[in-house]
Structure 1
Amino acid sequence: MADEFPSSWRDPEYVGTVVGVLATGAVVFYAALTAGPPTPETVTFVLLAVFVPWALAREAARRWL
């Protein structure tokens, strides 16, 4: 069990998780400020706003950390 959890902030999985959580929090904050049901454009924005930073941070950590 302990081997599955990243032990260093330089681990790409850890960096990706932190960035993903922060991106999700930012999207939730944005959603709290807007009113009405989500539109297809909003759903696309949410997916891109979470997965693009996550993927970029994970890849950058894998290559340079």
Structure 2
Amino acid sequence: MKDLTVADAIKKRGGGAGQVNQVSCDLQAATVGDIANRAASGDKAARTALKLIKQAKSKKDKYGNR
């Protein structure tokens, strides 16, 4: 999964366009591995992107991709 883009990772885990749009445009095209490194060094937007990736499935189950 580390080689997928953030947008693809969210979609693969069951998220929708609404969750992808919550991530800034420059981070949507970055790889998950790159985002993880940025988050580890303190980038707040990257941490948010990782949270969205992790929560994509649970949000889909709860809200049905609304």
After TM superposition, is the score higher than 0.5? no
- Using the size of structure 1 for normalisation, the TM-score is 0.34
Identify the structure with bigger relative contact order (alpha carbons < 8 Å, sequence gap 6+): 1
Larger radius of gyration: 1
More helix by share: 1
